[in-house]
Structure formats: C-alpha cells, structure tokens
Amino acid sequence: MISFEEAKKQLSTYKQEHLLRYYDELDEEQKKSLLMQIEKIDFSILKALDTKNNEALKRGVIEPIEAVSISDIAKNSDNYHELGIKALKDGKIALVLLAGGQGTRLGFDKPKGMFNIGVTHELFIFECLINNIMKVVDETGKFIHLCIMTSEKNNEDTVGFFREKNYFGYNADYVHFFVQDMAPAVDFNGKIYMEAESRISSSPNGNGGWFSSLVRSGLLDELKKNGAEWLNVFGVDNVLAKIADPLFIGAIIKSGAQSGSKVVPKSSPEERVGVMCLEDGRPSIVEYYEMTGDMITQRNSDGELAYKYGVILNYLFSISKLEEINKQNMPIHTVDKKIPYMNDKREYITPSEPNGHKFEKLILDMINMHDSCIPYEVIREKEFAPIKNPDGADSVVSARKLLEENGVAL
C-alpha cells in the first residue's frame, strides 16, 4: 500500500490534495482505507478534461468493412477448427470475462453474473457461461485459464459466489480474479468528490480498463508464462456466448490479423448496438448513438445494410499487440451524472440535477488501436442472448426464450 507521503505527492500532481483534508482525524482503519482508495484510483483519467482527449474522440472518415461471412466460414470450417483446437490444446488461448459492470439497467443488487435465469431450477448467468466454456474443455480435454474482472464494488460477492458454487464444476486452479481500477467522480471544476471523510467518490473505470488492470494484477505475466498468446475477451451479459470457439480462433490465427471480433447482423437498422466499420482505413467500432441517419439506413447494391455488423463483446486479441497498445492513451468518455457527495459542512447531499462528471474507458475503442481486426460473422439466434434489462429487448425474458430455443433446460 502507498504511504501518506506518496499519496500526497500523487494528489498534488493532479491538484486533488483536498482528499486528505480530514486524514489527521481518521482512525487507523479509515486512514488505511483512504490510502488504499487513492492507490486504486486511475488518476490519468482526469486527462479527459483536457482538449487533447476531445481530439481523440473525434471521428475520422467512416466506411463499411467486409466481414468473414457465415458462408466463408462454412467453406473453411475443417481447417479453422483444426487450427483452433491445436491452439487451445497448446495452451495459447486464455479467457477474460468482464464482470466489473454495475448492471444498473437490470436493477439487481448483486453482481449480474449471480442472477438466476432458471425457471424450474437454478441457472445463474455465471453458470451458463461456465457451461458454455465446458463444451470446449470437454472437446479438447484441457482446461483453459479464465480471468474474471470484478470491481471494488462486486469483487467480494463474486469471488464468494464462485467458491460457494464450487466454480460450477470448472477447475478452480484455472480461475483467477482481478479487480479493475476505479475512476473518480468530479465536480464541474474537475475536483474529485468525497462521499465521507475517508471515502472518495468513485466508480469502475469502464470495460476498457481491463487490460491495464490485468497487467497491474500480475496475471498477464502468469498467463504468458503458461504459454498464452491470445486472449478471448467476453462480457457477462450474453448467456449464449460461444467462448473459446475453435472456429473463431482458427479463422483469426489463419488470417494473420492482430485481432478478431464476433459480429451479428443487426436485427433492424435502429438496433442499439455498436457496429464495425473502417475509420480512416483502420478497423473501428461506432456506437449506435454516433451513427448519422444516413449511416443507419445506407444499403449496398444487394439491399443489405452497409453497416450491418453489430458487435457482441466477444473478441480475440493477440497479447503482443495489446502490450503495445497499453503504452498509448485510450480515449476517455465523460458522462454528466448526479453524484452524491459530502459538502464543506460535512452534510451528505443527494443532488437532483447532474453536478459533475464520471469517466469511462471502453473496450470498443481498442479496436481502432489495432492495424487489423477481422469481423467474424456468427448466427445471431445461436450466439447472442444479451441480458441488459428485466424485460423487453435484450432482457431476462428474451434471453430465456433464446436459451430454450438452443436446447438449454431452464
């Protein structure tokens, strides 16, 4: 843990010395806790408040991108499968599950992975994902290292749950947890809010913080020592995610590209999903809210949407390229939020209007940092059942239906 002096120095670099204002009156436990929070905070994120970051968020020239289509994959499936199975058996692939989100839309007060989507019996989201990985483990006879990213807010619950459930039959030696960094919440003048004398207002720094947090945890070195060369990264939301998919792995390795992204055709032009594209000739993802009306409706001569490939948060990244990217700054997204805080009179205020910014790094920004990323098309109904909301689109209800259609007993 950092010392008081180190914390003070760190804070003065970022003009945030006020976080230690009440330090002298704290008890030992609180002092330790405050220093630990300061250590865990990704202060570099405050750069989002300067103009250079705004430049980084500006979009270049966007054009459609070609994908490896389902029919291309079918033609080469034997070859891809063989290559993928070999990479898995040789231990070249490790898995990263991003589970540090807050799942606000679902409105469940535990980590999203602990949600039970079963109907007649228990079936937790985490369990579903493990079952999906087990299909490949059964095929290769080899466990795959699985790193699970949690946040300060849900780490204890998540780790405890896996232990209690005996890792859902997965080999515990192959399951590793790491905690993502936190981003501070600031007022409109860039000063970090405090929630109490010993508590800094902060939230997980977005799913784009995963690689730097993995490196910082020491786990990346472990994975590399075990021979890993590629990371298959996926989210907690999609209960139909095909993870460690030999065909996907084989296709990306064969292509010689630095990375690959599973994509599905959009369900409608307006679907709220990021799409793959080329930006100034490089692979990229534009979020649905960044798309112009023309882009949303543009069609090719064959009548297909020009920007039809939605991303489903299932990527394959080469570790060596990620290490290179990690030396660069990622764009930081700022969102105006209502942030509860302690005022100068030490009263706890819950604002009714936005009173500051929160910051996030997004994994989708990593794609544009690669020279090559292959969009790899998969069958939507078989591989995409996201759980974002309790009901309606992308919900517990729609995911249950899709699971049943794919033969999963609920």
- Residue 137 exposure: Cα atoms within 13 Å on the Cβ side: 17
Q: Which amino acid is at 273?
A: V
Candidate ranges 103-111, 187-195, 284-292, 318-326; the one touching ligand UTP (CB under 6 A): 103-111
Task: Tokens for 146, please give them.
Answer: 């699985």
- Residue 374 exposure: Cα atoms within 13 Å on the Cβ side: 23
Which position among 64, 204, 283, 331 is part of the footprint of ligand UTP (CB under 6 A)? 204
Candidate ranges 123-131, 157-165, 201-209, 316-324; the one touching ligand UTP (CB under 6 A): 201-209
Residue, CB closest to ligand UTP: 101
99: contact with ligand UTP by CB under 6 A: yes
- Draw the binding track, 10-49, toward ligand UTP (x: CB under 6 A; -: no contact): ----------------------------------------
100: contact with ligand UTP by CB under 6 A: yes
Structural contact between residues 271 and 310, judged by C-beta atoms closer than 8 angstroms: yes
105: contact with ligand UTP by CB under 6 A: yes
Number of residues that bind ligand UTP (CB under 6 A): 17
75 contacts: CB under 8 Å, gap ≥ 6? none
235: contact with ligand UTP by CB under 6 A: yes
236: contact with ligand UTP by CB under 6 A: yes
98: contact with ligand UTP by CB under 6 A: yes
Place of tokens 């990217």: 325
Judged by DSSP in three states, 250 sits in helix
Cα–Cα distance for residue pair 55/161, rounded to 1 Å: 42
Which residue, 11 or 98, is less far from ligand UTP as judged by CB? 98
Q: Which amino acid is at 291?
A: M
392: contact with ligand UTP by CB under 6 A: no
Structural contact between residues 331 and 209, judged by C-beta atoms closer than 8 angstroms: no
64: contact with ligand UTP by CB under 6 A: no
Q: How far is the CB of 113 from ligand UTP (least distance, A)?
A: 8
Which residue, 94 or 98, is less far from ligand UTP as judged by CB? 98
Candidate ranges 22-30, 94-102, 219-227, 253-261; the one touching ligand UTP (CB under 6 A): 94-102
With residue 130 as reference, give the H or E element that holds it.
helix 125-140
Structural contact between residues 247 and 377, judged by C-beta atoms closer than 8 angstroms: no
Judged by DSSP in three states, 358 sits in strand
Of the candidates 319, 348, 298, 294, the residue with the CA atom closest to the CA atom of residue 87: 319
User: Which residues lie near ligand UTP (CB under 6 A)?
Assistant: 98-105, 149, 180, 204, 206-207, 235-237, 388
